[in-house]
Structure 1
Amino acid sequence: MPNVLVTGSRFASDPAFAPIGAAVITADDIRESGVTSVNEALRKIGGVSGRQALNGSEDFALDLRGFGSTSDQNMVVLVDGIRLSESEQASAVFSAIPIESVERIEVVRGGSSVLYGEGATGGTIQVITKRPARNAGRGTLFGEVGSYNYRTMRASAARDWNGLSIDVNLGAVRTDNYRRNNALSEENFSGVLQKAFDGGRVGIRVASATQNYRLPGGLKLSDFAADPRAASTPASYGSLDVRRYTLFAERRVGSLDFAAELSRSERTSRIEFGTFLNGYQGNVTQFSPRVRWLASSAGIRNELVAGIDHSRWDRAGFVGNTSNGVQSASATYLRDELRIGDWRLAAGVRHENFDKTYSDPTAFFGSSNSYRISQSLNAWELQSAWAVTRKAELYAKAGKSYRMPNVDDNAVVPVANQPLAPQQSRDFELGATLGDDKGKLVARIFRHDLTQEIFYNSMTFTNVNLDPTRREGFELEASGRIAASWRASASLQHVKARFTEGPSAGREMVLVPRNTASVRLNWLPGGGHSGNLALRWVDTQRFGDDMTNACSQRVPSYTVLDGRYAYRRGPWEFALTGTNLANRSYYSSAFGDPFTMGQCNGGVYPEAGRQLRASARFEF
């Protein structure tokens, strides 16, 4: 199969049909920066805002458009077209994606429900993995040690024999992490066996991730000031096992491209908070056949895509959890894109049906113990782009996206056994791209008007539908070469997240910094040397339970400096990496204490202090 650039239509496409307004992180960007995980690449190269995972892993909570504590539920993550985002209040496990296997990462900000369904209001993150070159092989061995007893080993190998190829990746992490009772052990495996032939390919992908972690809990502000490394829950811990199996096929017949994936995901989670035990086994089966028609006539190029997405999710509780839930979803979508000279026009629609059942015979007072409900939703999009010159493009997007309340959202609601209404959003975006690879500036302004936004109200201990809310703001991205051996990039996001109607009209949403910014300098003088410095700044934000905006205390702003130096000689690369080099004491998550009625003096989750690491990489 030929190398391609983009997958904006859920098919491999040429640059003529690149996703409008998308940002792409390439394998070269990843290698040049020295990042060691997909999540880190998104934060440090892509400028995506993130906050520390509570379990101490690299799965930072990412936020594309200012959704705060529900950001992972308003963003869809995919690997080679397979959805990793869960049908529950759980984040996608980025750490299960080996960084050595990544060809590129495509970030599309804003509503994307036509192609990707529920939860795509904030946008999508699509990870595309490498395919071995024909009759060639490659491999990598990587080891790293660092502060807080950090150790990691990774190995990858790929080989092709006349179109029959295999790609295997292994990884393991051990660390005590910055805080006490926050140790993490993690093992990952992924493997792909595929056969490529003229006009198509077939294959199977297997992946697994296992995490065992300790949970340090939140701190009061006074405890954070006295010792940010302290733990408030020394007896809490958890584990997570994720396994995924995928069959995939692609075939071109004349002007038609056919593709399909059949995947099965199995997820087992266990957690203990003191004497509270909880566990569940969740399974997801997805089937996604689709077809694309490409045509060209009289200078007009057309791409028409139609497809079906069917999924079945079920979860059974154990170890103190008696809940059981099932959700089936079936969707059809159609999207057409025309390229007429310097103009691109695209339109798409989606219809999706959901059937959900739930039971929990021992549910506590106020919780749901049984319901059955069917819901359906529609999404649409209109997009246009105009290449003003070879180095300037203007574009506009409008659409409707949605998020469906999941089994965790409906477990604890204001009225027991009455599931929440679906969240819907009207999405608008205007953008411009100026320049080329030597120097580029991207500017976007956006607005998302939401109704029935799904949110956890910590004052009532229930999930609720909010009065109408809005996210609006702008994003700037710039990159370019500033000297022979220096390249710079920067990003800025400004977002206002607030209520627009009801008793709370004008109040700010919580855990959403109004401004975030990053600057990165890459040094490539030649002779095997390389280095980079990255500066990130995050504005103040409201505590997670300050929905009334009554707290005088806010999560303070912070600035973090990271750096890396590497030397490459032959197949070897040696590197020194430092994060939070100024050893700044700060936190990005704080949920307050509902028992103090919004005084906002607890629930603080400190970020890590200075960390230094040394690594070695061997390529063959």
Structure 2
Amino acid sequence: MQISVTRRLPASQPLVLAAAVSLCFAASVPALAQTAVGQSLAPIVITGARFDAAAGMAPIGATVITADEIRRAGVSDVNAAIRKIGGVYGRNSLDGSPDFGLDLRGFGTNSSQNLVVVVDGVRVSESELSNVILSTIPVETVERIEINRGGASVLYGEGATGGVINIVTKRPVAHSAGGSMTAEVGQFRERELRGTVHQGWDGFAADGAVDARHNDNYRANNNYKQVDVSAGAQWFSKEGRMGFRYEGAREDMRFAGSLSEDQFNANPRQTFTPNDFGSLDSDRLTGFITRRIGNLDLAAELSHREKTSKGTFVSSYGVYAADATSKQTQFSPRLRQLGEIGGMTNEVVAGLDLMRWNRVTIADASGYSSHVEATQRSKAIYARDEIKFDPAHNGRLAAGVRRELFDKDYNDGFGSQYNIVQGLNAWELQGSYAVLPALEAFAKAGQSYRLANADENTLTPTGKPLQSQTSHDLELGASYGDAARKITARIFRSNVANEIFFDPTLNHGNGANTNLDPTRREGFELDGEARVAPDWTVIGHYQHVKATFRAGVNAGREMVLVPKNIVTARLAWTPADGQSADIGAQWVDQQRYGADFSNDCSAQMPSFTTFDARYARKLGQWELSVAGLNLADKHYFSQAFACRGSIYPSDGRQLKVAARYDF
């Protein structure tokens, strides 16, 4: 397995929380319009088919996180909002960054490669083994986050087997100006300063944001520093808009490494890799345009990202240092036609996704150097049609198809090389119908896919590239309630063939990336939200996943690093006097250690419960707040790659205070 130094290194409580649960996409847009505290947001317009859509055409079965909920919870980054408010399970990062590995529907350590993240129409999921970097997005600029669980490769391409997370930033407002400054300090020498500013004129708007943070983190040799800058400008009118956006990030981190079970129990904060460190520099420039001509909408984004990551690792074998520079260019033109057929609303969406990715890695291992180059080119065409019938019952039917071709090249300079061309197809069929005024049922079926990236194809059992992964997905669900109280339930099943995974038991115990025997994910999800009193709101999420092998030597056994049950609940207090409070809890069930494919390890990773809370007081244009993470100071871990070993401890309790000024 090739190491990516950007994000990934080698290697009665549930019942109480479940009760709380039961109570209860897109043209590119710069981050501009801000919402004053206490002022309600405009009605949410959700991007169902990579275009703005009326509420009646919102993504079927989606979970939506609003800007109000983000502000109320006091989270300081987008990743935390997805985990704490959206109920998405996250594994702590191995480099000390706030970018946890997000997992939709139980895909373990490869969860980041089985979901797609889109920001304002631009795919930001990486073409290598690394978590999506969301900490560079100013959280104050987010309008909403849409979580679409389940296969979605028709619109979003490879890697969308677990689902899609779509982040939409705030829209420009003519003749408006404002911004905010936030300062935060906390334990482990945590300090952060971030600011945003925006200005809108008649038909033109501009914005900017900066964020500087430093954290020594819970463990020794786990310091993390980051500086982010973003700026954008656009011209807009009722016919459309066009503009550009720049995003840059500079990060330095130190790697604490793993521990054995005995070492973890003795002192989870210690490190045995005190000389390991790395850095990341990333720059992205995006141009976009949208235009409406009659009932035809046209849109396109052109995005170019350059990233340089460096890492140094010291062991008894010597020093290993790597320097990798990657470039990625994407172009996504598309169109939509809205019309009527026999009195029924019809939406047709079609488009192209074109991408080229290249990476050059220069490494040195105790005097032995290497030069590795990998390239991937892809081109896709897709079409989707959705029809809305029987308005009284909000009936909807949607169908779509996608064809994508991939061309991969690899050469390590030592005779190991390949050139492969792969073609993959995706399809989907969805429908929903309000069987009662407050009860809507929905169903989804489809095929999604994923390809092995350059890191995964570097180390395989045969020395040849891996086969493509496919999944046949089925989901049935229903939503009941209204704006004050709503509950959504889903049952799902995904039969995966040739799942791409790192198996530590292969290659004489050194591990290798491989295609697993057939696997399955099936389970149940419950989302709830309720205003239980004028000043009190409760939200909750419950997920049950059974991940097993369907065939092969491990048939019937459980997949590794997949908790069977996860419960997330939050209670918010928002009186009208400028105060607010928010408390959350998450319980995570036991899961198999990362190497335990045969399920014969004498133990499982322990379950754990964590609590966080925040209290804030508004004083004019100032807001003062105090917050705590892991309030019970629980010693736990969500990453462990060997039976009772290769453990990466999660953070202990952290208290912090913040001051924000809106202008």
TM-score by length of 1: 0.97
Distance verdict in 2 for CA 1:354–1:512, change over 3 Å? same
- Selected match of 2:471 from 416, 425, 450: 425
1:603 aligns with 2:603: no
Q: What is the CA–CA distance in structure 1 between the aligned matches of 2:268 and 2:396, rounded to whole Å? A: 52
| 2:160 corresponds to | 120
Aligned pairs for 1:17-96 (under 5 A) are 17-96=57-136
1:616 aligns with 2:659: yes
- Selected match of 1:314 from 346, 350, 358: 358
| Matched residue SS, 1:223 | helix
1:388 aligns with 2:435: yes
Write out per-residue CA displacement over residues 314-348 of structure 1, whole angstroms, 9 at most, x where no aligned residue. 00112435210111000000000000022100000
Shift of 1:50: 0.5
Letter of the 2:566 partner, please give it.
Answer: T
Write out per-residue CA displacement over residues 576-608 of structure 1, whole angstroms, 9 at most, x where no aligned residue. 00011111111111111xxxxxxx132111111
Gaps of 5+ in 2: 1-28, 30-41, 365-369
| Matched residue SS, 1:503 | coil
| 1:571 corresponds to | 621
Shift of 1:362: 3.7
| Matched residue SS, 1:12 | coil
Letter of the 1:322 partner, please give it.
Answer: H
Identity value in percent: 48
| 1:333 corresponds to | 382
| 1:596 corresponds to | none
| Matched residue SS, 1:351 | strand
| Matched residue SS, 2:111 | helix
| 2:38 corresponds to | none
- Equivalent pair of 2:395/2:431 in contact (CA under 8 Å): yes
1:351 aligns with 2:403: yes
Shift of 1:132: 2.3
| Matched residue SS, 2:457 | coil
Shift of 1:389: 3.1
Q: What is the CA–CA distance in structure 1 between the aligned matches of 2:488 and 2:561, rounded to whole Å? A: 26
| Matched residue SS, 2:551 | coil
- Equivalent pair of 1:202/1:249 in contact (CA under 8 Å): yes
| Matched residue SS, 1:40 | helix
Q: What is the CA–CA distance in structure 1 between the aligned matches of 2:340 and 2:105, rounded to whole Å? A: 36
1:497 aligns with 2:543: no
| 2:605 corresponds to | 555
Q: What is the CA–CA distance in structure 2 between the aligned matches of 1:566 and 1:477, rounded to whole Å? A: 26
Aligned pairs for 1:195-594 (under 5 A) are 195-274=235-314, 275-320=319-364, 321-341=370-390, 342-362=394-414, 369-416=416-463, 418-460=464-506, 461-592=511-642
In terms of mean alpha carbon deviation, does 265-274 or 67-76 score higher?
A: 265-274
- Equivalent pair of 2:398/2:430 in contact (CA under 8 Å): yes
Shift of 1:29: 1.0
| Matched residue SS, 1:410 | helix
Write out per-residue CA displacement over residues 476-522 of structure 1, whole angstroms, 9 at most, x where no aligned residue. 01110122221111111000001001111011111000000011110
Q: Across the two proteins, how many residue pairs are aligned to each other? A: 607
Q: What is the CA–CA distance in structure 1 between the aligned matches of 2:307 and 2:128, rounded to whole Å? A: 11
Shift of 1:133: 1.2
Gaps of 5+ in 1: 364-368, 593-599
Write out per-residue CA displacement over residues 129-174 of structure 1, whole angstroms, 9 at most, x where no aligned residue. 1122111012010010000000000000011110200011100111
Letter of the 2:640 partner, please give it.
Answer: A
Letter of the 1:614 partner, please give it.
Answer: V
Write out per-residue CA displacement over residues 180-236 of structure 1, whole angstroms, 9 at most, x where no aligned residue. 000000011111110002310000011011110000000011111111100121111
Letter of the 1:336 partner, please give it.
Answer: D
Q: What is the CA–CA distance in structure 2 between the aligned matches of 1:549 and 1:445, rounded to whole Å? A: 26
Shift of 1:242: 1.2
CA RMSD across the alignment: 1.2
- Equivalent pair of 1:4/1:13 in contact (CA under 8 Å): no
In terms of mean alpha carbon deviation, does 271-280 or 493-502 score higher?
A: 271-280
Shift of 1:430: 0.5
Q: What is the CA–CA distance in structure 2 between the aligned matches of 1:391 and 1:82, rounded to whole Å? A: 35
In terms of mean alpha carbon deviation, does 122-131 or 477-486 score higher?
A: 477-486
Q: What is the CA–CA distance in structure 2 between the aligned matches of 1:299 and 1:96, rounded to whole Å? A: 45
Write out per-residue CA displacement over residues 449-492 of structure 1, whole angstroms, 9 at most, x where no aligned residue. 00000011112221100110000000001110122221111111
Write out per-residue CA displacement over residues 547-599 of structure 1, whole angstroms, 9 at most, x where no aligned residue. 1111012110000111111001111100000011111111111111xxxxxxx
- Equivalent pair of 2:233/2:243 in contact (CA under 8 Å): yes
In terms of mean alpha carbon deviation, does 476-485 or 221-230 score higher?
A: 476-485
In terms of mean alpha carbon deviation, does 381-390 or 349-358 score higher?
A: 381-390
Aligned pairs for 1:89-238 (under 5 A) are 89-238=129-278
| Matched residue SS, 2:461 | coil
Shift of 1:296: 2.5
| Matched residue SS, 1:311 | strand
Q: What is the CA–CA distance in structure 1 between the aligned matches of 2:524 and 2:204, rounded to whole Å? A: 46
Shift of 1:276: 1.1
Q: Higher relative contact order by CA 8 Å / sep ≥ 6: 1 or 2?
A: 2
Q: What is the CA–CA distance in structure 1 between the aligned matches of 2:130 and 2:224, rounded to whole Å? A: 18
Letter of the 2:64 partner, please give it.
Answer: V
| 1:366 corresponds to | none
